[in-house]
Amino acid sequence: MGAPTALSARFWNPDRLDFGARQSHFEWMKDTSTVPECTGVTEDELFEMANILPEESGLTRRVWISINVRQQHHRPRLKVEGSDNQFYPVAIDDPIEFLAGWAPGWSAAQFQSLQRFIELNRNVLLEYWNDRIGTRQALNDIRPI
């Protein structure tokens, strides 16, 4: 390696680093204001969920699917987001229904479309819920309505 350039010498010289500027840079990296905040799920649950975009499902809203990792739920489910930015579980077995109250902002017509989506993809959704297929296969096998 050759002699350090003025830029690299300035950058790597701890006497010249502006830690205040670096800290604000790292604070900027932590800024999540561009990501809509959703409540009703833990950070671990959010990490464990895969989302299906409206273009992929044919629905007007995003759908979140997950594996029953901790075997904590007695009914298989997916989640949808309400207009209040909270997640609402929907049963994927019969009867297809909201399990914790109707999600705000969901019309009857949107729910009927969600029911059609679940019926069309029930086998895939259940296989994923029961950890028999991976996320890639589940997302590849989902069919839009």
78-129, pLDDT tens digit by residue? 999 999 989 999 999 999 999 999 999 999 999 999 999 999 999 999 999 9
- Strand-pairing partners, residue 78, are 90
Whether omega for the bond prior to residue 89 falls within 30 degrees of 0, making it cis, is: no
Q: Where are the alpha helices (DSSP H) in 4-145?
A: 6-12, 19-30, 43-48, 54-57, 108-129, 135-141
How many residues are there in the chain?
145
61-84 confidence digits (pLDDT tens): 999 999 997 777 789 999 999 999
**How far, in Å, are 11, 12, 119, 120 from residue 6 at the CA level?**
8, 10, 64, 63
Q: What is the pLDDT of residue 14?
A: 45
